[in-house]
Amino acid sequence: MLIQNKIIQSVKDTCIKDELVSACMMYGSFTKGEGDQYSDVEFYIFIQDDKIENFSSRHWVSEIYPVDLIFYNEYGTEVVIFSNMIRGEFHFLPVSKMEIIKSFKPTGVFPDPESMYIYDSTEQLKPLLDEFGGAGPNRMTDENVNFAFNNFVNAWLMGVNVMRRGELARSLETLSHVQKYILQLIRVKEQSVERWLNSTKNLEGDISAESYKDYASLTSKLNENELKTAYKNALSIVKVLNETLCTLYAVDIGEDLISKLFDYLNE
């Protein structure tokens, strides 16, 4: 049995025993049948409204499994590093905020809502989870394609400009945004858009070998020549993607703008 499954079972057992906990749901890889020995465990835990003010989430998590580190990340998520090097993410909220679950549906595909269910004494959780059934949001739209193309142009131009200024580290950071928007376009082209918001996840299995090779050409060390090559390759890839996708979608940018960006890079 995976250690993560032991942690998940421990979370469930603790929820059942703890009268302060009203409901608990899980999200992430283990709810999608993709969990393995390297996967995180991730939960929303709902506490009685009148008890949450004095509820110690740190103490609660420490009772689940031995912990080396607990902290809040920049998104306000309580992150746990268990002593076995498994990562955990915990959100502790009052029961009155359980309907936050409704906001999850637009973020992706949830193929097995039943696997998200851990515990519920309120009878409110399961109906909310049942709404996750069926297809996820439609990513293959004019709006999304233009979002990716337009934001690519913005990130690409910024990355080239700061590179010319001599801010190579900033240009390398910006290149990651260029990569993200290109991957979204590749996923649209290959109709593999389930991971739209996390486009690198399982990339090795989700896209064609040719597209994966294209992605590899967008990577760079902190070196001006390599950066310039990556930005040039990015334009070449986007040019081909534009030629393909403009026949299927109403695309804002066209060959003229892409040619202008090539000229700008070569100035």
Strand order in the sheet with 117-120: 67-72, 78-82, 87-94, 41-47, 21-27, 117-120
Q: Does domain 3-130 have CATH number 3.30.460.10?
A: yes
Q: What is the pTM of this model?
A: 0.91
Contact call for residues 194 and 108 (beta carbons, < 8 A)? yes
Q: Please name every residue paired with 23 in a beta bridge, in sequence order, or none if there are none.
A: 46, 120
* CATH T-level topology, domain 142-266: Four Helix Bundle (Hemerythrin (Met), subunit A) (1.20.120)
The per-residue pLDDT for range 240-255, each reduced to its tens digit, is 999 999 999 999 999 9
pLDDT in tens, the chain (267 residues): 899 999 999 999 999 999 999 999 999 999 988 999 999 999 999 999 999 999 999 999 999 999 999 999 999 999 999 999 999 999 999 999 999 999 998 888 787 889 999 999 999 999 999 988 878 899 999 999 999 999 999 999 999 999 999 999 999 999 999 999 999 999 999 999 989 999 999 999 999 999 999 999 999 999 999 999 999 999 999 999 999 999 999 999 999 999 999 999 998
Domain spans of the chain, in order of start: 3-130, 142-266
Contact call for residues 202 and 195 (beta carbons, < 8 A)? yes
